[in-house]
Structure 1
Amino acid sequence: MMQLREAVLSEWERRARSAIAEAGSLPHPLLINTMPTMYANLAQALSPAHARADGEGNTVASEHGGERARLTNYHPQSVVQEYQLLRWTIFDVLGAHQLVLDQRESGIVNAYIDRAIREAVAAYALVQSALRERFVAALTHDLRNPLTTANVAAELIRQDAESPRLKDLAERILEQHGRMDRMIQDLLDSVVFQSGERLRLRLSRFDLGDLVVEVCRQSIAAYGPRMEFPGGCAEGWWDREALKRALENLVGNAVKYGDAEAPIHLSLNVHDERVQMKVHNSGPPIPEEQMESVFQVFRRTEAAREGAQQGWGIGLPYVRSVAESHGGSIGVDSGAERGTTFAIDIPLDARPFQNAPTL
């Protein structure tokens, strides 16, 4: 096996560049990574008399996954595919040289590579999480400093200006500053949630119908008379500010991506000690294969990336974090004929679910 190492790795590199889009342009040293060491360790694991016969006791696969996260634009599935290609390249190249592994040896190869996949993907996820948290910390710090300065200046203008027009402009600046501050907070909350922590909710009893009316009024002032809410009430225990921000995100999303000439319909439905809060808009549907990605931080649909709409891809992940932290979920239904509906579905009383697991 060690005599055939160069043949195996050369064939693996050829297959990887052909099958994995991200591998095509990688320099050889970056692509080959820790694969030579992994192959040598596997050969040792197949040798009954060798001290590595159990195949364990190293971090080669973890280092491989970490490098893929830090130095390439690989997705986790690309890391998995690399190891799958390695598995079949080993079998094919060894077989072509009349070195056929028996059932026991094949089992060792499969177990070794399966374990390597788990370790590499776990390391990839840890590195991605650390990089994301570092990025968010730097971003929020860099954004909030100039925003705070601008806010103070606008407040002084509003207080001292004699011209009604200047006062109005200062009000607009302050309003947009508040919007940016909420976006930054959404980003922080989303990243906290994605790292496995729950949102810290401040639960109180209130009528969700009043909250929907409040958001509708604010949205009409911002976007025009497109909001439709037939009314309704739903009293329960929730975090009012978190649900308000979640609903504002859904309404803003409907305005941004829906038909500009069609109304946006909001509704409340109470059933089985749960409440559904829905926001519906007409317009182009979300492709089925992209429905899950809209709830992932920094991921947006192809239509959103290609269009003129601005966004960070944090609004819907935040909505999911709010829904799940309340012991519920967020769903989407989208089709060309029926438009797009996002539905927050949560228990009427979120207090018993404060320690429930979230994704």
Structure 2
Amino acid sequence: MQKASEILRNCGPEIIENWESKVKEEIPAAYNSSNLALRNQLPKLLEDFADIIERYTDKQELQHEEKFEEIIKNSLEHGRHRATSSHYTVTQILKEYIIFHRVLTETLVNNSLYTTEVGIILKYTLETSMLNSAGSFTESLQDMREKLIGTLAHDIRNPITAAYFALDIISPTDNAERIMKLKKMGLGSLRKSLEMLEGLLDAITVKAGEGISLNFSEIDILKELKWVYKEASEIYSNEIILETGKDKIIGIFDGTAIRRVIENLVTNAVKYGSRNSPVRILVESNNDEVIIKIHNEGKPIPVEDQDEIFEFLSRGAVKSDSTLESWGMGLTLVKSVARAHGGNVQLESNEVNGTTFSLLLKKYANKPGKVRTELNYSEN
């Protein structure tokens, strides 16, 4: 057993290269994946297999799940990673392991180290890995769907609330100009709700590696920001301030998605910030990009939680704090939209300066048309 374990470790690079080549030949989803993405868990799994072969020779011992602690952890990570890799399916994940088993067996046979005992260990270890990876993949996909649907459902509340507010304050004694103004506001908000419902239905069919669908076109993004500013000013008691030195900012954007992102950040800034301080929407623009900052005073987001709330499929659940959970739900959308526009989102939050979310968007990172956003796996 010791020699079989040693040969797997010594031939590690050769095994990985061989496996990767066969996977790209036989699994369509793997063909377009980067080498780094394909190899991310394989060295760990290979080390696990070698350890188990070295430690255990008793078939009865192998049937106790606690003996597979390492392989379970890494196979769960493997499944979670594949859920954020485009076009993967459970069948393809299982085939990855079958190919891995084939490569390991060939290596041991070629070195005259394949025995019945080694074959039994590989079988049990492989079965454990396959079950855990497939389960993790399925659960992660379901988690993605629930989060996307939850985010969309959460955001639909804002325009419906605005429409209700507009209709509720209309009075028969109002003059025609005020009635038309409130009617326009209500209809506009309901139109936004219908646009979001399309996204909600779209999210139900999300596949591995996919996020929401975005529809890019050349627009003046300031019009969308001014709409958010105007609507928020009428709904919230906090003062809402929009600061921009431009009359218009033209680029290829998904206006609906960006509007939803800013609405989400403004809503959270009002909800979790100081009630006596203004919420600021700051807009900076140059030839290539636009930066939109949402700032509020008040209790900051703890430093140790600032990275985790951006993660869509974090390794552990976000701490059971309702504030962080609410921030995190919205930030899955913010991060996805920013990256789809070739940009990113950053957070600064402390007692002195308050909380600022900075959304960087490239003006011409995309061509007009409809595309699915991609999810990005984090190793943190």
Which structure 2 residues correspond to residues 127-276 of structure 1 after superposition, within 5 A? Answer: 127-130=139-142, 133=145, 195-197=208-210, 199-233=212-246, 234-271=249-286, 273-276=288-291
Q: Find the partner of 1:280 among 289, 295, 301.
A: 295
The residue type equivalent to 1:332 in the other structure is L
Q: 1:8 to 1:289 in 2, by over 3 A?
A: farther
- Structure 2 residue 315 is matched with structure 1 residue 334: no
1:52 equivalenced with 2:52 (yes/no): no
Shift in Å at residue 301 of structure 1?
6.2
Aligned to 2:86: none
Cα distance in 2 for partners of 1:271, 1:199 equals 28
CA contact (8 A) 2:213 2:372 kept: no
Letter of the structure 2 residue corresponding to residue 231 of structure 1: T
Match of 1:316 among 310, 321, 331: 331
Give the match for residue 129 of structure 2.
61
Contact 1:228 1:264 in 2 (8 A): yes
The answer for the alignment partner of 1:125 in structure 2 is: 137
1:100-155: CA deviation from partner (whole Å, max 9, x where unpaired): xxxxxxxxxxxxxxxxxxxx3x64133321465379779999xx9xx9xx99xx9x
Shift of 1:186: 6.7
The answer (yes or no) to whether the contact 1:190–1:314 under 8 Å persists in 2 is no
Q: 1:180 to 1:210 in 2, by over 3 A?
A: closer
Q: CA–CA distance in 2 between the matches of 1:323 and 1:262?
A: 27
String of CA shifts for 1:218-276, please: whole Å, max 9, x gaps. 10101035111223332222111111111111111111111111111111112461111
Report if the CA contact (8 A) 2:290-2:361 is conserved. Answer: yes
Task: Find the aligned partners of 1:261 and 1:162 in 2 and give their Cα distance.
Answer: 30
Partner of 1:289 in structure 2? 304
SS across alignment from 1:351: coil
Match of 2:358 among 338, 343, 354: 343
1 CA distance for matches of 2:359 and 2:257?
12
What TM-score results when the alignment is normalised by the length of structure 1?
0.54
Alpha-carbon distance change, 269 to 304 in structure 1, aligned in 2, over 3 angstroms: farther
Report the AA paired with residue 203 of structure 1.
F
Deviations 1:9-52 (CA, angstroms, capped at 9, x unpaired): 59869x99xxxxxxxxxxxxxxxxxxxxxxxx9xxx99742271
Change (3 A) 1:304 1:7: closer
SS at match of 1:253: helix
1:186–1:239 Cα change, 3 Å: same
Q: Percent identity?
A: 23
Asked whether the equivalents of residues 192 and 198 of structure 1 are also in contact (C-alpha less than 8 Å), the reply is: no
> Structure 1 residues 322 and 286, CA, compared in 2 at 3 Å: closer, same or farther?
same
Question: Does structure 2 conserve the Cα–Cα contact (< 8 Å) formed by 1:191 and 1:297?
Answer: no
Structure 1: gaps of 5 or more residues? 17-40, 66-119
Aligned positions, number: 257
Superposed CA RMSD in Å reads 5.1
Q: 1:352 to 1:283 in 2, by over 3 A?
A: same
Residues 214 and 324 (structure 1 numbering): CA distance in 2 closer, same or farther, change over 3 Å?
A: same
Distance in 1, matches of 2:280 and 2:351, equals 17
Write out per-residue CA displacement over residues 181-212 of structure 1, whole angstroms, 9 at most, x where no aligned residue. 77766766777779422543332333333322
Matches within 5 A, 1:294-313: 294-297=309-312, 302=319, 304-305=321-322, 311=326, 313=328
Given that 2:149 and 2:200 are in contact with CA atoms closer than 8 Å, whether structure 1 keeps it comes out as no
Contact 1:298 1:313 in 2 (8 A): no
Query: Structure 2 vs 1, CA of residues 224 and 254 (structure 1 numbering), >3 Å: closer, same or farther?
Result: same
8 Å contact kept, 2:213–2:373? no
1:285 is matched by which residue type in structure 2?
A: P
Q: Please say if residues 152 and 196 of structure 2, whose CA atoms lie closer than 8 Å, have aligned partners that are also in contact.
A: no
